[in-house]
Structure 1
């Protein structure tokens, strides 16, 4: 029986249902040997295929598949720089572009060089994939370099119902319920450092001052002018949300660390839906955090009843 069979006893999923496979690989040859059969099987079945992987792996795959039509490519180093962009902007965008058809996605969100906060954001992303794609007709295969180390590989095991290594594809006993994972990762952020510049805001009349403060601090820290404008827009979205959903105002803090501008908004609201900013809302409202994810290089959120902390990171 093929290692890539759709037999439920092997895949751990119902035929025609959502499958989320964590693929462990060691080196370039192992990578191609693991990924290519999924691509070829999907193309043989007439299914849309998306290869969304970091630049270092995208090149070799495009070379091997150069003569094979029907494959869509995304450089995850760019599209997935902020893991919060991947679900709405890459995975759901591709699935929604092919309604009524089973899609196959090679989606690699973690690569060597990702920071620890980015790794945590990627684990959160993978857990959310299990929620959002439940019931959808899709196969998403997520390659993980074994050199990433224990924290990243543990995250892979806890968010993929099926794991694969060297052609062996088996149900994963270490898989955790996505809501459990999301709640576990909803940790308070460390307080802003004492040297951070800060401003409080209380009503809509303060928003212009918040925007001015953001622009001045970002420019002083060294953010490029075009990125200053992006940050101003992102902060304005968050401050506006504070005004719409709380009555006590909020606090904005800004500082720099490790080639990053960091901007944190604290208020007394509560984001009860963990998928806010990851799926497109049905109506005209609720797009704010999705806009923020598109503009920033990393977005980290902690929200419990009576307190929300949102931290934005921008590469300097």
Structure 2
């Protein structure tokens, strides 16, 4: 049975997270669906942020006219190039800037041109929103253009959102899944590298070799000096975490994929926090997990895609895979 938007508003008043997948047919229907949400938010004095691709920004700004100045506009192609950074650096930061008010964030996670390599991280991001902001006065609306996206994308959207909006109706998602279990299922089984990676097993006194290997591959891939330094810093941070928190040895693998240079650090440590690297650790915390979490926040800022996979059982361990886009491929 359809639930009208008033039911969602009642939910929003008690300070809980509202997380919706908005299924729309085409650009005009997106404008039609979002206009009343913006109008209600402005009337209630709620801060609004919109994180979408550029063509949708232009559409929505045109629709809002002078009211567009009341919105914080962010480019998802830039802010969400690494989906693993979105919870901390975009949604969390905006919500924290307005701690006493419910905020509205419209975030478009997926469109046909997004690289396939990003997909698992995008689904995990959508699922973990439900964990990261549980109990927070935050409304997150995630548009999905049903006419251009594959059916499995829409099915996964229904699995990661408690409610699905279609036209004027809001439906309770019957396929909504446990967010941690779903996120881990997408992150625990990383695809095998394309080609044969170069491999280095490193110990406590071999971080210099780690940095040299990454730098050499970055030069061969044609990364500029700034991007090369970012990648070396990111891999060094992860390798250091391995030595400090998981113990030696760690394993570094580096390889090229179409349009990307990929570096991966694996160890035998276990990560129990599904949000590690996605939310700021308390600054006074001395726990190894919190320390590693802060380091991974930096890694997420530096790289174009970060995948954090932890496994249990016979093949237990944690893998952090860092991607840099190579522009000339």
Whether TM-score is above 0.5 comes out as yes
Structure 2 Cα separation of the partners of residues 214 and 183 of structure 1: 28
Q: Tell me, yes or no, if the aligned pair for 1:192 and 1:264 is still in contact at 8 Å.
A: no
CA shift for structure 1 position 312: 1.1
Corresponding residue of 2:272: 272
2:66 match: secondary structure: coil
Query: What are the ranges of 5 or more consecutive residues in structure 2 without an aligned counterpart?
Result: 285-290
Structure 1 Cα separation of the partners of residues 131 and 237 of structure 2: 26
Q: How does 1:1-316 map to 2 (within 5 A)?
A: 3-5=4-6, 7=7, 15-68=14-67, 69-146=69-146, 147-192=148-193, 195-203=196-204, 205-283=205-283, 285=291, 286-305=293-312, 306-316=316-326
Deviations 1:54-100 (A, max 9, x none): 11211111222230142111111100111011111110000000011
1:220 match: secondary structure: helix
Structure 2 Cα separation of the partners of residues 213 and 224 of structure 1: 16
Q: Tell me, yes or no, if the aligned pair for 1:201 and 1:207 is still in contact at 8 Å.
A: yes
TM, length-normalised to structure 2: 0.90
Residues matched between the structures, number: 313
Q: Tell me, yes or no, if the aligned pair for 1:223 and 1:261 is still in contact at 8 Å.
A: no
Structure 2 Cα separation of the partners of residues 133 and 77 of structure 1: 23
TM, length-normalised to structure 1: 0.93
Q: Tell me, yes or no, if the aligned pair for 2:121 and 2:187 is still in contact at 8 Å.
A: no
CA shift for structure 1 position 240: 0.2
